[in-house]
């Protein structure tokens, strides 16, 4: 897997483009505004074809460029069904610009797979930040695209629409099952590893509560 990354928009969203160099098929994860030019450049420089636009959840700062990227690439949009309405009827909250609606054609279900070329990401349903938040696990490279579920030293907010502290506790506890060497690529901020986050993740798991 080859990974290209950019930080875009007013809340510094991480946008990822992943490609299979052998087949030149690719996916994009969390196409925030303004990421269209970045995605187009990443594809053109590598002669990749975008097959799927994946939204880890439906908040405005992760979905704003879905429709534009789809229009320019023809790629389908994927999201967990519990967050589908957030894409079709975006809630801009404090977004400084309009968030165009987009129409998902692919459902990201627990235990499902995202396939592009010869590569596969496993879908983990990790609610808590929103009802339909997901993480994507690449077992071959040991990478977890965690959206806004897990950050370096923190977890996603649970006080926004769709948030649920109890569900976030269960999702974070689940991530302790992963190996220490798994690299975590979050929706915001720096990359980390499960091993680096394990001390506080284990406390969340054991105490069954979010840490103050």
Structure tokens at 7: 């930080």
**pLDDT tops 90 at residue 204:** yes
- Under the banding of pLDDT at 50, 70 and 90, the label for residue 212 is confident
Q: How far apart are CA 17 and CA 1, in angstroms?
A: 10
What is the pLDDT averaged over residues 181-194? 98
* Model pTM above 0.95: yes
Which residues are paired to 192 by β-bridges?
184
pLDDT of residue 64: 98
pLDDT of residue 180: 98
Average pLDDT value for the chain: 97
Reduced to 3 states (helix: H, G, I; strand: E, B; else coil), residue 196 is: helix
Q: Tell me if the domain spanning 2-207 has CATH number 1.10.10.10.
A: no
Q: What is the DSSP letter of 129?
A: S
Separation in Å, CA 200 to CA 16, 142, 149, 184, 212: 26, 21, 14, 15, 11
Candidates 184, 183, 199, 200; CA nearest to 151 is 184
For the chain, give the number of residues.
Answer: 212
Helical H runs in 47-151?
60-63, 66-73, 84-88
What is the pLDDT averaged over residues 205-209? 97
Side-chain-side CA neighbours of residue 84 (13 Å): 11
């Amino acid at each position: 897997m080859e990974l290209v990354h950019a930080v875009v928009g007013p809340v510094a969203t991480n946008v990822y483009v992943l490609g299979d160099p052998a087949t030149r098929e690719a996916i994009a994860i969390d196409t925030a505004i303004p990421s269209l030019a970045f995605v187009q450049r990443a594809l053109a420089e590598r002669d990749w074809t975008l097959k799927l636009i994946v939204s880890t959840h439906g908040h405005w700062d992760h979905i704003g460029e879905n429709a534009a990227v789809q229009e320019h690439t023809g790629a389908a949009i994927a999201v967990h069904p519990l967050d589908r309405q957030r894409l079709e009827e975006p809630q801009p909250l404090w977004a400084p610009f309009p968030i165009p609606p987009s129409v998902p054609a692919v459902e990201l279900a627990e235990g499902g797979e995202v396939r592009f070329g010869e590569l596969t990401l496993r879908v983990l349903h990790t609610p808590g930040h929103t009802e339909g938040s997901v993480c994507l696990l690449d077992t071959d490279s040991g990478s977890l695209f965690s959206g806004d579920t897990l950050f370096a030293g923190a977890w996603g907010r649970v006080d926004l629409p769709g948030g649920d502290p109890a569900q976030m506790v269960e999702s974070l506890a689940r991530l302790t099952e992963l190996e220490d060497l798994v690299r975590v690529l979050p929706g915001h901020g720096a990359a980390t590893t499960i091993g680096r986050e394990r001390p506080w993740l284990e406390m969340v798991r054991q105490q069954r509560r979010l840490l103050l």
